[in-house]
């Protein structure tokens, strides 16, 4: 499967009261990867929500990724995204098998991305590129760095951090394969607008 397109990331607070409706609206507009990101410690709810998302993703032929929880990903038979504090990728790859999608956060460091690729990452993620509500303190990445990364890496590149329809184009032009979006997709006032935005993001990637 070619990893290129919109990478939708959930936010429990932003989606409170409309979680599944907005996720399905995004899937309807076309999503390559959907990441379930929930930092709470309510494991029963997280399992329940992740199971519902897996069901939806399967209906729309989208790959589900679990943020920072390889064990939950293994339980559901889906992919995982690991941050720099989650340790090396190798144990996750051993746990999830050779076909699972495993992503790695690399901030703005190409060396981290090269290391992740060696350890078997399916894609590497750089960011934040713009001011981000989700990760306000993350170190900034630049389009120049992105262009260098594209020249040096042979894995799909994901970009994240404050990405909107208005600012995404230069990132695609400099080599981004996956546009990871939270507020720029789900911060909409209707399900119709979520679907419209999803289609528009994919149009930028010629999908």
Q: Does residue 36 have a known ligand-binding role?
A: yes
Quick count: other Cβ atoms within 10 Å of Cβ 98? 7
Q: Does residue 195 have a known ligand-binding role?
A: no
Q: Does residue 131 have a known ligand-binding role?
A: no
Q: Does residue 93 have a known ligand-binding role?
A: no
Q: Does residue 41 have a known ligand-binding role?
A: no
Whole-angstrom distance, CA of residue 186 vs CA of residue 7: 12
Q: Does residue 67 have a known ligand-binding role?
A: yes
Q: Does residue 28 have a known ligand-binding role?
A: no
Are the C-beta atoms of residues 178 and 3 closer than 8 Å to each other?
yes
In this structure, the dihedral spanned by the alpha carbons of residues 185, 134, 126 and 50, taken in order and rounded to 10 degrees, is -70
Q: Does residue 37 have a known ligand-binding role?
A: yes
Are the C-beta atoms of residues 23 and 198 closer than 8 Å to each other?
no
**What value, to the nearest 5°, has the Cα angle with vertex 164 and ends 78 and 36?**
20
Q: Does residue 99 have a known ligand-binding role?
A: no
Q: Does residue 38 have a known ligand-binding role?
A: yes
In this structure, the dihedral spanned by the alpha carbons of residues 94, 77, 108 and 166, taken in order and rounded to 10 degrees, is 160
B/e letters for 160-198, b = 16+ CB within 10 Å, e = fewer, are bbbbebeebeebbebbbbbbbbbbbbbbbeebebbbebb
Whole-angstrom distance, CA of residue 178 vs CA of residue 75: 25
Q: Does residue 11 have a known ligand-binding role?
A: no
Q: Does residue 115 have a known ligand-binding role?
A: no
Annotated binding site for Mg(2+): 68, 86
Annotated binding site: 35-39, 67-68, 86, 105, 132-135, 162
């Amino acid at each position: 499967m070619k990893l290129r397109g919109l990478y939708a990331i959930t936010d429990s607070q932003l989606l409170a009261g409309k979680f599944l409706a907005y996720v399905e609206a995004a899937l309807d507009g076309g999503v390559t990867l959907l990441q379930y990101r929930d930092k709470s410690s309510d494991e029963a709810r997280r399992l329940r929500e992740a199971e519902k998302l897996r069901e939806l993703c399967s209906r729309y032929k989208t790959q589900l990724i679990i943020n920072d929880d390889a064990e939950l990903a293994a339980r559901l038979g889906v992919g995982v995204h690991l941050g720099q504090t989650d340790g090396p990728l190798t144990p996750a790859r051993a746990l999830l098998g050779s076909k699972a999608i495993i992503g790695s956060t690399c901030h703005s460091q190409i060396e981290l991305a090269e290391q992740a690729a060696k350890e078997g990452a399916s894609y590497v993620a750089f960011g934040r590129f713009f001011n981000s509500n989700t990760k306000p303190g993350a170190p900034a990445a630049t389009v120049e760095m992105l262009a260098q990364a594209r020249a040096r890496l042979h894995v799909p590149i994901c970009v994240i951090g404050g990405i909107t329809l208005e600012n995404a184009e230069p990132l695609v032009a400099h080599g981004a394969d996956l546009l990871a979006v939270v507020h720029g997709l789900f911060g909409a006032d209707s399900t119709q607008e979520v679907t419209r935005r999803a289609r528009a993001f994919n149009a930028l990637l010629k999908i």
